Amino acid sequence: MTPARCTQPPSGKAAMAAAQYRAALPVIQTRRLVLRAPTLDDLPVWTSICQDSFGDTAQEAWTEFSYYTSGWLLHGHGLFTVTLREDDQVIGFVILGLEWDDQEPELGYMFSTEHRMQGYATEACTAVRDFGFDLLGSGQFVSYVSASNARSNALAARLGAARDKAVEHSFGPDQHVWRYGEVQA
């Protein structure tokens, strides 16, 4: 089956323009990781994670990848591709962005199965949290986490977030809202 045209990297002047635009976006380096702007070459890893974790089709994964990436142009924050410093292998993604129903920017993440439980999410999310503090300010972004997702709730707590129970009431008992920085009354 031929891949959809929209998933194919550009060539020629378009490829040079895309690289130039991506170069204007932040790159964050940590001890083990590099967080950078996404490219179409990252799409297969994104699609695999979406299919494994959420049952998404390739088209649904493409749509999500596109709108998370567009956040950079629309809001000044968006999707980071997380790679290993040692070999540039794509291992996951961290977002500081907005979904349709989000009331405020969200810090979220997803990693390939083989790269979970190794501290990569903590390392990458810490870097994006700090980026968010610099860009948006303390208390200006959250993580929306299912109450049943013990690992993600624990990560938000490790990152120093506090549950914003006032905001949680608008979502219901199955949703935790973790605020990074001061909880506003």
CATH of residue 73's domain is: 3.40.630.30
Domain with 128 in it: 26-138
* pLDDT given for residue 183 in this prediction: 52
Tell me if 67 is assigned to some domain. Answer: yes
What per-residue confidence (pLDDT) applies to 184? 46
**Which pLDDT value is given to residue 1?**
73
72 Cβ contact partners less than 8 Å away, ≥ 6 residues apart: 25, 37, 78, 79
In a domain, 87, yes or no: yes
Q: What is the pLDDT of residue 182?
A: 63
Per the domain annotation, does 173 fall within a domain? no
With respect to residue 7, please indicate whether it lies within any of the assigned structural domains: no
Q: What is the pLDDT of residue 185?
A: 45
Mean pLDDT by 10 residues, the chain (185 residues): 88 96 97 97 97 94 96 97 98 96 95 96 98 95 97 97 93 94 59
* The pLDDT of residue 3: 85
Q: What's the number of domains the chain is made of?
A: 1
- Whole-structure pTM value: 0.94
- Establish if 46 belongs to a structural domain: yes
For residues 105-131, b (16+ Cβ closer than 10 Å) or e, as one string? bbbbbbbbeebeeeebbebbbbbbbeb
